[in-house]
Amino acid sequence: MKTEPIVEAQIDFAHPGHDGLAWAPGFQDIYHARDGAFAQAEHVFLHGNGLPQRWQGRARFVILETGFGLGNNFLATWAAWRADPQRCARLVFVSMEKHPPRLADLRQAHAHSPAPVLAAQLLAQWPPATPDLHVLDFEDGQVRLLLALGDVATWWPELVGTVDACYLDGFAPSQNPAMWDAHQLRHATRLGAADLTAATWSVSRVVRDGLQGAGLQWERAPGFGTKRDMLIARRHPRPAAALAQQTPPGRQAAPVARQALVIGAGLAGAAAARALAAQGLAVTVLERREAPAQETSGNRAGLFHGVAHAHDGSHAQLLRAAALRAHQLIAPLVARGAVAGDTDGLWRGGGQPADWAARCSALQAQGLPAGYVQAMQPEAAAPLLGVPPSGPGWWYPQGGWACPADLVRAWLATPGVTVHPGQQVQAMSPRHGGGWLARDADGQSLAEADVVVVAGAADGLALLRPWTEVDDWPHQRSRGQVSQLAAPLAEALGLPRPQHPLASGGYLIGLPAASGGGLLCGATHQLHDPDPALRLADHQANLDQLAHLLACPTEHVEPARREALLARAMAEGQLTGRVGWRLACEDRLPLAGPVPLPAAQRAGARRQEQPRMVPRVPGLYVLSALGSRGITLAPLLGEVLAAWITGAPVPLASSLMDAIDPARFIARAARSASRPAQD
């Protein structure tokens, strides 16, 4: 997805003649009618779409809005949902906004809100203005706001999910024609359910023609306030089966998914289990070890943070969206003591000083807000970190560290999740009538479900080998050793304890007493190395990496003395650590999505140059290859996979779904084969 800097809204609350109503100078228009934003939302958008009656008794109801504005339509809809005893189990509100308000302006706009409690919750979760699809959950996840910041022309094709009702809002077509573009409105019917409806306050010719061109039958209805008319619309009748055929094979939901089986109880498996249970599935988790989080997820601590690249490509976009979601989900767990960690920021070194000016210029050109990342010189960073960094770098206010084992335990405690440790899955087989069976070494059934998510690392991928060409997915397994230094050893080496984690090649975390105290640093990266033993040389390598982080590394300790100190500390238990293996793809992107059919069964399928067009093995999914970014990626990707399976709106842009789809390697090969040969 091509991203652009987000320009926040300019709002005037004192414009002459508008009695304190929010005025948008750039569009020469007010944000809502004089007779009240909630009253307008109820008349035009709720009643215009047959709500609340249409959502009653449903498991999920999805509303799509063009133009979030100040959020009044969302708040009025949420209030109506709360007041309805027959409300749907889950309400999803997807909204696009090119110019989001600043938090201070949003606070002023809702100072006298008809729903002050709800407005306060929206303000508390208001995201930084980055060009992403932001996930905001309320009512313990029963109400979800997916807020797409950026141009509607960018976001319409990037949205994935089935929509039940459309709120067509925005400033007047004469002032904001791009919002009402007839070509873009056709995406509404692409996303729409068989009984899709739409409503808008505008009755202009361009809107009527746009609705008609999008396959929606419109009619006039009594307007709100001073407006005589408004428009309501519904899609031309089409069988639901015909609509389902329009969905690419790689984006189709599981037809019947009530039970899910997750294989692997590390970060990926636990995140998938939590998200699937939140969608209403009964989830069984099988773990070969005697307890969850015994592989690499058993490390004392790990980092989560985004990145800022000059080219804001798929890798940077994915990590930014994932890091912001990770902070949302992890910070409350840390705050209440369920997870050890620090979610108040992370420092990442800025690389070579000669490149610093160019990196800062690139960051400035991207327009990424200070709420996401800040360029900072070492003298400004030192008081914040409590240690002097080696040079300039990036401060990520919503980065930090967390104990992965604590996260796994917290996520697996989600209601609806059942964990069975000590269950080694040797094979999977299709179940008669649909679904899957997991079998042990003797061929006995361990569990069965409608859908299976394989969430282990290399061993997990081996389970997929009978069903797809896993060996054609370019991936590698690397050994990593982390080092934990007790406080006396750190003092002897002259290593200070940072107040927040630092990263740049290696990393440094100051651990609380409950997590063993002292310092944690790491991690090595060794391919084709199966050695599980802790090695003194790797401890030394981890300490050497600190020179990229700190202005006071351990070089002042004479090498021979340092080696002797470390060897004695290992023998005395003052220097400990852990060895684990990461799985990563060569393109540095994870594997998440439905498993592709093998080549023989895909023969004849059209347009396999696009990952979403590649046919899939029914009910079989993978979430793996998170590399060293497990804590950052797992929370969001678990939710992405759960939405992919259930047909809920996916909290990730469509192009990023293609980027993480295991079928991307098939698509690349197909594109390469279709290119004409070069002389």
Q: CA nearest 101: which of 70, 57, 63?
A: 70
Lowest mean pLDDT among 15-29, 218-232, 296-310: 15-29
Please, which pLDDT band fits residue 244 given cuts at 50, 70 and 90? low
3-state secondary structure of 665: helix
The model's pLDDT over 592-604, given as tens digits with 9 standing for 90+, comes to: 999 999 999 998 8
- Residue 678, pLDDT > 60, answer no
Q: Amino acid identity, residue 224?
A: F
Give φ, ψ of 375 to 5 degrees.
Answer: -80, 135
As beta bridge partners, residue 249 has: none
Q: CA nearest 194: which of 220, 218, 167, 215?
A: 215
**What is the percent of the chain where pLDDT is above 90?**
80
DSSP string, 95-118: EEESSPPPHHHHHHHTTT-SSHHH
Residues 6+ apart with CB under 8 A from 364: none
The model's pLDDT over 150-182, given as tens digits with 9 standing for 90+, comes to: 999 999 999 999 999 999 998 778 888 888 888
The model's pLDDT over 13-70, given as tens digits with 9 standing for 90+, comes to: 877 766 667 878 878 777 777 778 999 999 999 999 999 999 999 999 999 999 999 9
The whole-number pLDDT of residue 631 equals 97
> Is 44 or 494 the better-scoring residue by pLDDT?
44
The answer to whether the CB of 341 falls within 8 A of the CB of 400 is yes
Give φ, ψ of 588 to 5 degrees.
Answer: 65, 20
The whole-number pLDDT of residue 14 equals 72
**Neighbour count for residue 571 (Cβ, 10 Å):** 9
Lowest mean pLDDT among 142-156, 338-352, 415-429: 338-352
The whole-number pLDDT of residue 561 equals 84
Q: Amino acid identity, residue 479?
A: R
As beta bridge partners, residue 620 has: 452
CATH code reported for the domain at 23-245: 3.40.50.150
Tokens 């008809």 sit at which residue? 114
Question: What are the domain boundaries of the chain?
Answer: 23-245, 256-295+406-474+586-674, 342-398+478-581
- Residue 240, pLDDT > 70, answer no
**Neighbour count for residue 465 (Cβ, 10 Å):** 10
The answer to whether the CB of 48 falls within 8 A of the CB of 199 is yes
- Residue 466, pLDDT > 80, answer yes
- Residue 307, pLDDT > 60, answer yes
Q: For the chain, give the mean pLDDT.
A: 93
**Neighbour count for residue 126 (Cβ, 10 Å):** 18
Instruction: Give how far Cα 431 sits from Cα of 304, 397, 423, 524, 618, Å.
Output: 39, 48, 19, 42, 11
The answer to whether the CB of 189 falls within 8 A of the CB of 196 is yes
- Residue 143, pLDDT > 90, answer yes
In this structure, whether the domain defined by 342-398+478-581 belongs to CATH 3.30.9.10 is answered with yes
Report yes or no on whether pTM surpasses 0.75: yes
> Is 359 or 327 the better-scoring residue by pLDDT?
327
Residues 6+ apart with CB under 8 A from 150: 3, 4, 6, 96, 98, 131
- Residue 341, pLDDT > 70, answer yes
The whole-number pLDDT of residue 452 equals 98
As a whole number, mean pLDDT of residues 82-91 equals: 98
Buried b (16+ CB within 10 A) or exposed e, 271-292: bbbbbbbbbbbebbbbbbbeeb
Lowest mean pLDDT among 33-47, 344-358, 574-588: 344-358
As a whole number, mean pLDDT of residues 268-279 equals: 98
Tokens of 519: 């310092």
As a whole number, mean pLDDT of residues 255-274 equals: 96
Q: CA nearest 296: which of 333, 255, 268, 327?
A: 268
Tokens 């007041």 sit at which residue? 83
Q: CA nearest 458: which of 587, 585, 299?
A: 585
Buried b (16+ CB within 10 A) or exposed e, 491-515: ebbebbbbebbbbbebbbbbbeeeb
In this structure, whether the domain defined by 256-295+406-474+586-674 belongs to CATH 3.30.565.10 is answered with no
Report, in angstroms and rounded to the nearest whole number, the Rg of the chain calculated over CA atoms.
26
End-to-end CA distance of the chain: 33
Angle between the N-to-C axes of helices 182-191 and 205-213, in degrees from 0 to 180, rounded to the nearest 10: 40
Task: Identify the helix (H) or strand (E) that includes residue 222.
Answer: strand 216-222
- Residue 241, pLDDT > 80, answer no
